[in-house]
Structure 1
Amino acid sequence: MTDRFILVEVSSFRQEIKKSRFLALAAPIVDENEARGFLAQHSEPAANHNCWAWRLGQSYRFNDDGEPSGTAGKPILQAIDGQALDNVVILVIRWFGGVLLGSGGLIRAYGGTAAACLREAEKRPLVHLTNISIMCTFSDAALLRARIEALDGVAVGGQEFLPDGVVHHVRLPAEMEPKVREVAADVTSGRAQIVSGV
């Protein structure tokens, strides 16, 4: 069971706080380059501030873009973490309305706008995938592949033919590995050789 979530698609949220307009845009990402590309594409040069944060597993970055240190990027990152999200980037754009918000007000405005955007976004559980290789005899290969691919979320990414059998390269959700091992042992009467993490 996962305890982390990812966004399904780009989400946005707008609000006005003491005459300043805030627009949050959140998107799923797979790597830092995708995060940077999203920020470059959606930042608004005419706005006063384009503050952002992203998280990819243990890696994260945030930027206050001219707001006082710790009042924008960090609250946006806290909104990501507060909703147990991963592989996500959020950009919060501010058009200054003439009324100073103070440090506490900025923290609430940026963090609150980001959090509201994420609350409205469609999410799905983050599934950690892993790879295993299963070697079996030629006579077991077809049935083994059919039984493995019938399992939810499991896919045979390729096969390798050796002089004495076939190696199935399998990509699967990590929590499905015990079930795949059980099926492989059942189909091959325990003859299959399984290597994890390849």
Structure 2
Amino acid sequence: MLVIRWYGGIQLGTGGLARAYGGGANKCLQQAERLPLIQRSSFQLECSFSELALVKLRLAEVNGLLESENFTATGVQMAIAIGPEHVDTLQRQLADLSRGRIVLHKATTE
């Protein structure tokens, strides 16, 4: 959160500044929409161009996120994030649609 106060010529002092910034932050938090936090794990995969649309469809069905995609001469490298409860389902679906060519690889963190 970022609170900006344009100086208007009134000296507030440290207590006044703290109240002004705290009040601005409080109003933002009170009015903000609350969203649930969803735990996701990151994976990498490669698919052919012809499989890309189906991979994205299957990813959307499990509420997955496409973090990045890199087009190469032979296909597409993708970084995705999905909930742990959907890993087995998505892996099975991707293997079925690609005859076993698409495999999810756990992303490594550096």
Runs of 4+ aligned residues of structure 1 deviating over 4 Å after TM superposition are none
Unaligned runs of 5+ residues in structure 1 are 1-39, 43-121
Are 1:142 and 2:53 an aligned pair? yes
Unaligned runs of 5+ residues in structure 2 are 1-20, 24-33
Are 1:186 and 2:96 an aligned pair? yes
> TM-score with structure 2 length normalisation?
0.58
The CA RMSD over aligned residues, in Å, is 2.4
CA contact (8 A) 1:131 1:169 kept: yes
1:147 & 1:129 partners in 2: Cα distance? 16
Alignment length (residue pairs): 78
- Who is 1:170 aligned against? 80
> TM-score with structure 1 length normalisation?
0.34
Greater strand fraction, Structure 1 or Structure 2: 1
**Taking CA–CA contacts closer than 8 Å with sequence separation of 6 or more, which of the two structures ends up with the larger relative contact order?**
2
Shift of residue 173, structure 1, vs aligned partner:
1.1
2:53 & 2:67 partners in 1: Cα distance? 14
- Who is 1:23 aligned against? none
Deviations 1:119-178 (A, max 9, x none): xxx9x6x64211111111111111111122122x31222211122111121111122111
* SS at 1:183 equivalent: helix
Greater helix fraction, Structure 1 or Structure 2: 2
- Who is 2:8 aligned against? none
Shift of residue 192, structure 1, vs aligned partner:
0.8
2:57 & 2:74 partners in 1: Cα distance? 20
Mark the CA change 1:164 to 1:193 in structure 2 (over 3 Å): closer, same or farther: farther
Amino acid at match of 2:78: H
How much identity, in percent, do the aligned residues show?
A: 19
